[in-house]
Amino acid sequence: MGKLTYTAIMSLDGYVSDETGNFDWAAPDEEVHAFINDLERPVGTYLYGRRLYDVMLYWETADTGADASPVEVDYTRIWQAADKVVYSTTLEKVSSQRTRIERTFDADTVRRLKATADREISVGGAELAGQALEAGLVDECQFFVVPFVVGGGTRAFPTDTRLQLTLVDERRFRDGTVYLHYGVEVAPTAG
């Protein structure tokens, strides 16, 4: 059975992007990126919302750039090797290998995917992750909290989400980023 993990890079005040949709403040340095690569190696399937998929498309060809660092090339290969499911009502075709479109998020379909997966599953995009959390599908949360306050934007969690989390691991990085790994202990309830 595959474990479903929600992973996000967020500001200290809990946002994955600011009010203009910008998230350049969240770009990991080499140390953090290498750590992320090691976390992502076991992932066999990524579940993405449309906006995050559009951002992640960069990794389809990032290893071909002359200025790609070894850590970027490593991540590119990890990303390319995984299956991707994009949830979108408007996307007509995908631009990456090993990718398919689903028009709506169906909790039962994801439950079946988890039951048959031999590798881990990652959900990304705050809205999609919120749906997976609400359905009680998320087993773990991994957050990279960067030392930046943005004051508003897209929250990492929907405002009505309530979860019981248990700290599994933590790590501090030289750039001030803090990694927090939580187990999801109780199915979410509306607040």
Q: pLDDT (tens digit, 9 = 90+) per residue, 24-75? A: 999 999 999 999 999 999 999 999 999 999 999 999 999 988 899 999 999 9
Range of the domain at 147: 4-190
Domain tally, the chain: 1
* Average pLDDT, rounded, for the chain: 94
pLDDT for the residue numbered 160:
81
Q: What is the pTM of this model?
A: 0.93
Torsion over CA: 156, 56, 108, 101 (sign): positive
Task: Judge whether residue 129 has pLDDT over 60.
Answer: yes
Q: Express as a percent the part of the chain with pLDDT over 70.
A: 97
Burial (CB count <10 Å: 0-12, 13-18, 19+), residue 63: middle
Give the orientation angle of helix 70-81 with respect to helix 30-40, to 10 degrees: 20
Cα–Cα distances in angstroms (integers) from residue 48 to residues 8, 67, 149, in the given order: 12, 27, 25
Q: Which helix (H) or strand (E) element contains residue 89?
A: none
Largest CA distance in the chain: 49
Burial (CB count <10 Å: 0-12, 13-18, 19+), residue 144: buried
Q: pLDDT (tens digit, 9 = 90+) per residue, 71-114? A: 999 999 999 999 999 999 999 999 999 999 999 999 999 999 99
pLDDT for the residue numbered 65:
82
Q: Residue 81: which CATH number? A: 3.40.430.10
